[in-house]
């Protein structure tokens, strides 16, 4: 697209006589000189609509080389930001030119020459004082001055004279004054600069007005608000000056510079003033206005929001509100719960989105710029989707109290530990829950049963404690007397990486099967050696969600001498031949029921979980005489709320 625009521009330029061709001056090529300090230099990041080419009727004669964009000083090019120098931003001149070409007849082109330096005093443009000003200029300004060979006025005049070979200078745009706030000589010095420009370029003042933009007001709290009055009074000293109002122009957080929307508005006002001066009815170009997202008063901070941030929030309708600062982005997408939302720019570098009502529970989400997913910096991170992901909790009502901590309920501990697995020759990580009573002195000789609890594909050993709230479910269940105090062990299961195919029939798994020898040969012995466990099969259980359920089938049904309890939550158990799997274990129901103290399976009623066919499998197992217990989570899909509910249903049946 950019190549096409350059081709169109080049064709248009060749169609009009320019300086390098030694042709006659084109009276329909209107040229404007732009000078000033940081707000003319441009302090806002251009957004997508600013970077779209304005077409061949709006041109820039660069005042410095810009190799990255193929620009050379003194050679006309398309006028897309940055107009001032490399690494500067959006300026009023950008939308001044766009407004002017929209307002003037099609045969008229507009060109700008742009010289501006952040923080420069007006004396930096007065020819007689430039040398002394450069000598005393602050260090941070030296490089900017050097870009203009330490004489910004001379650079402006030199290029203006060259431009006069191509077209006619019709006006001078200035945005300067902040540095001279309260300076009684300022207006007179502006007149000196203007008079010298008119003299050096042989301009008739009555034909070339000075258009002076006013400063950031910020509702009367602008850093240089005191400068407003002296700019408003400039026409009293310079009768050809017109002041461009900055009333209600939005500003950046520093209250010194405009934001992108403010520069667009001020630029359009410059363009409208010039159009009227030239005798044309002003016509504004289309500006994509930010779609304002109203956050209702009932919206509260999501519990997964990192403290100190204002978003994400959730309202009473369970709609979630997100915001991110991404001033250089052209498009930002929110991806949550299988739906993508285009985030809306606010004109200040921020982007916002509001979702449709979300189902209660935990949800992963990402933001996306340029096709790359990233984690919202305002939210807690959770390992899921094979990587660190953003997450948001959409609160349930009182029905969710079973997975919330409560005052007066003794809290167990979730420990992070590393152990060495000799079977694979590596250090591995696990999370271990111990009930509150485990630490009590009176229980120092008491031993506990163990539940090995596995997560699903693309998640890790932290999932059950972070996303699943396992520890609170345990604490509340133990406190109520429904759940036997137990140790819960959670390991990665070697299923953090994406599934890459292979034979994964039950009992012949390739994905995640490297964990089996670790669990049996390293993890269980380590837990038994380092925690007060009951080590017989009657006090050992295994359960898992999704692919963790698949692993539970593989491990337990192949080692029933080691486990007496098993459970799956939305288990990824497909194509299982109940008559042949695991050496035909299900064809011997009396033996199975005698060994397996409790066999539990569950799923949600929606989406993927509905397609898993868990309910039918349980029905078929029962028909074979297997004592299988089934629970269904109404209204939930393949998600953590389903599995929280499943864990709550399973726990009271363990070790009883």
Tell me the catalytic residues: 38, 254, 257
- CA 477-450-511 angle, to 5 degrees, is 110
580 closest CA partner among 506, 502, 504 = 506
User: Cα separation of 270 and 276, whole Å?
Assistant: 10
CB 145 within 8 A of CB 137: yes
User: Cα separation of 508 and 504, whole Å?
Assistant: 6
110 closest CA partner among 267, 288, 289 = 267
CB 29 within 8 A of CB 111: yes
DSSP state of 216: P
Write the CB contacts of 83 (distance below 8 Å, at least 6 apart in sequence). 34, 42, 60, 91, 93, 94, 112, 114
> What one-character-per-residue DSSP string does 148-203 give?
TTT-HHHHHHHHHHHHTTTSEEEEEEEE--GGGTT-TTHHHHHHHHHHHHHHHTT-
DSSP state of 523: I
Strands 29-36 and 598-604: unpaired
Write the CB contacts of 248 (distance below 8 Å, at least 6 apart in sequence). 217, 265
Beta pairing partners, 148? none
Peptide bond into 312 cis (omega under 30): yes
446 closest CA partner among 454, 456, 438 = 438
Burial label for 442, CB within 10 Å (0-12, 13-18, 19+), is exposed
CB 541 within 8 A of CB 585: no
Strands 487-491 and 450-454: parallel
- Alpha-carbon dihedral 463, 466, 469, 475, rounded to 10 degrees: 110
Strands 344-345 and 350-354: antiparallel
Peptide bond into 137 cis (omega under 30): no
User: Cα separation of 630 and 645, whole Å?
Assistant: 12
Angle between helix 186-200 and 152-163 (nearest 10): 40
Write the CB contacts of 515 (distance below 8 Å, at least 6 apart in sequence). 491, 492, 493, 494, 495, 551
487 closest CA partner among 442, 441, 513, 523 = 523
Integer-rounded Cα radius of gyration of the chain? 36
73 closest CA partner among 134, 32, 115 = 115
35 closest CA partner among 239, 176, 181, 243 = 176
User: Cα separation of 328 and 348, whole Å?
Assistant: 11
DSSP state of 390: E
CB 61 within 8 A of CB 76: yes
């Amino acid at each position: 697209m950019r190549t096409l625009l350059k081709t169109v521009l080049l064709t248009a330029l060749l169609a009009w006589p320019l300086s390098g061709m030694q042709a006659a001056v084109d009276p329909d090529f209107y040229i404007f000189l732009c000078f000033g300090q940081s707000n003319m230099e441009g302090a806002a990041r251009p957004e997508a609509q600013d970077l779209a080419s304005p077409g061949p009727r709006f041109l820039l004669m660069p005042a410095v080389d810009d190799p990255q964009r193929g620009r050379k000083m003194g050679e006309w090019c398309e006028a897309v930001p940055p107009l001032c120098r490399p690494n500067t931003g959006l300026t009023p001149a950008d939308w001044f030119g766009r407004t002017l070409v929209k307002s003037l007849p099609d045969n008229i082109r507009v060109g700008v020459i742009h010289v501006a330096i952040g923080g420069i005093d007006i004396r930096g443009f007065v020819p007689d004082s430039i040398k002394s000003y450069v000598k005393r200029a602050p260090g941070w300004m030296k490089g900017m001055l050097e870009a203009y060979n330490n004489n910004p006025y001379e650079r402006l005049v030199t290029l203006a004279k060259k431009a006069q070979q191509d077209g006619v200078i019709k006006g001078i745009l200035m945005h300067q004054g902040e540095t001279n706030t309260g300076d009684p000589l300022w207006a007179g010095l502006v007149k000196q600069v203007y008079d010298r420009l008119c003299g050096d370029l042989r301009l008739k003042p009555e034909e070339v007005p000075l258009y002076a933009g006013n400063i950031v007001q910020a509702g009367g709290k602008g850093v240089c608000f005191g400068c407003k009055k002296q700019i408003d009074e400039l026409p009293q000293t310079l009768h050809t000056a017109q002041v461009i109002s900055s009333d209600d122009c939005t500003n950046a957080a520093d209250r010194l510079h405009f934001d992108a929307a403010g520069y667009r508005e001020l630029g359009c006002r410059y363009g409208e003033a010039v159009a009227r001066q030239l005798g044309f009815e002003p016509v504004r170009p289309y500006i994509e206005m930010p779609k304002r997202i109203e956050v209702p008063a009932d919206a509260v901070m999501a519990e997964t929001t990192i403290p100190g941030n204002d978003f994400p929030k959730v309202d009473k309708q369970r709609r979630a509100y997100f915001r991110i600062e991404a001033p250089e982005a052209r498009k930002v997408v929110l991806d949550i719960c299988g739906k993508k939302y285009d985030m809306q720019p606010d004109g200040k570098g921020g982007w916002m989105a509001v979702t449709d009502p979300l189902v209660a529970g935990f949800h992963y989400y990402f933001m996306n710029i340029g096709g790359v997913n990233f984690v919202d910096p305002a939210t807690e991170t959770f390992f899921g989707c094979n990587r660190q992901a953003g997450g948001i909790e959409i609160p349930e009502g009182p029905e969710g109290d079973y997975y919330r901590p409560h005052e007066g309920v003794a809290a167990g501990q979730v420990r992070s530990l590393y152990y060495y697995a000799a079977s694979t020759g590596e250090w591995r990580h696990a999370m271990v829950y111990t009930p509150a009573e485990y630490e009590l002195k009176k229980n120092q000789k008491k031993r506990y049963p163990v539940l090995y609890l596995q997560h699903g594909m693309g998640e890790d050993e932290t999932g059950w404690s972070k996303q699943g709230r396992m520890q609170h479910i345990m604490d509340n269940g133990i406190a109520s007397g429904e759940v036997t105090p137990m140790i819960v062990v959670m390991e990665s299961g070697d299923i953090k990486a994406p599934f890459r195919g292979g034979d994964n029939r039950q009992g012949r798994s390739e994905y995640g099967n490297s964990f089996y020898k670790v669990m049996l040969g390293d993890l269980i012995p380590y837990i038994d050696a380092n925690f007060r466990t009951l080590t017989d099969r009657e006090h050992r259980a295994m359960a898992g969600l999704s692919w963790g359920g698949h692993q539970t089938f593989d491990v337990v049904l192949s080692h029933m001498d080691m486990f007496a309890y098993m459970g799956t939550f939305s288990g990824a158990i497909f194509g299982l031949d109940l008559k042949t799997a695991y050496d035909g274990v299900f064809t011997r129901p009396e033996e199975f029921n005698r060994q397996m103290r409790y066999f539990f399976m569950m799923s949600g009623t929606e989406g993927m979980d509905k397609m898993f066919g868990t309910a039918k499998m349980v029905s078929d197992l029962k028909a074979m005489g297997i004592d299988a217990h089934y629970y269904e989570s109404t209204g939930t899909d393949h998600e953590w709320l389903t599995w929280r509910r499943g864990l709550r249903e399973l726990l009271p049946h363990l070790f009883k």
